[in-house]
Structure 1
């Protein structure tokens, strides 16, 4: 069976005249007669148009392999999934969303708008790192220890000076026993 025979088979299975078939693809009856008789070969755009208009399996029309027609979508969601090449997760998301009651869908939409608003108000790019910086500043332990050591030395020096200025002859004053 050649491509002309397959075009004729499609047309007959749809119960269309050559004229009606031609009109649907923007052609004329004589052209369809030429295809079906094998005197003319359809161009690639004509083949694509036939497949799209009549839901014909292009592999079958070109080569005779597979089923004549593409499977019909079970519902509109399947049609959208095909049209937009949805992933499995996207399909499930849309299916669940569309099955919600109107009020629940409104709540989901409001939630999404709140999230978008919060991202916009944050002044941070929506693609920035997810983990916010801690509100506790980074502490440099070594610097803190050094500052504390210097403070203790100053206190010790002040205590020694205070002891000398008060005339303390007590050698042990201001010192801890070892």
Structure 2
């Protein structure tokens, strides 16, 4: 399988059109189409952008080795949960807190600080 075919496979696995896939990479659909068909070669810069934006394994994209997608955290919150061994409840608490409006977060902080002082 060529690099272009692997790009197409990744794009299809993500359920994206050429246009949608290219939007995140900052390229037009004709550019991606040319890459997928092997008309244009895959630059290292484009390969790294695809890997970064779509969590694709560089070794898979370039050499066809391993799994197409890296099993990496998708968000900073996912990374925190891994780093600090947080369970699902911890994650839900943090997610809830960060989704609150700033005024409400300030009230929660004041409440917690008040309880910690006692």
CA distance in 1, matches of 2:65, 2:25: 23
* RMSD over aligned Cα atoms: 2.9
Partner of 1:53: 53
Higher RCO, Cα 8 Å, sep 6+: 2
Point out where structure 2 has 5 or more consecutive residues left out of the alignment: 91-108
Q: Higher helix share goes to which structure?
A: 2
Structure showing greater radius of gyration is: 1
Q: TM-score, normalised by structure 1?
A: 0.45
**Distance change in 2, residues 1:61/1:80 (3 Å):** farther
| Per-residue deviation, 1:19 | 1.1
**Structure 2 residue 110 is the aligned partner of structure 1 residue 73:** no
Q: Conserved in 2, the CA contact under 8 Å of 1:60 and 1:68? A: yes
Aligned length: 93
Give the TM-score normalised by structure 2.
Answer: 0.65
User: Does the 8 Å contact 1:77/1:95 carry over to 2?
Assistant: no
Change (3 A) 1:79 1:31: same
Counterpart of 2:65 in 1: which secondary structure?
coil
* 1:73 Cα deviation from its structure 2 partner: 2.6
Distance 1:95 1:52, change over 3 A: same
1:44 paired with 2:19, answer: no
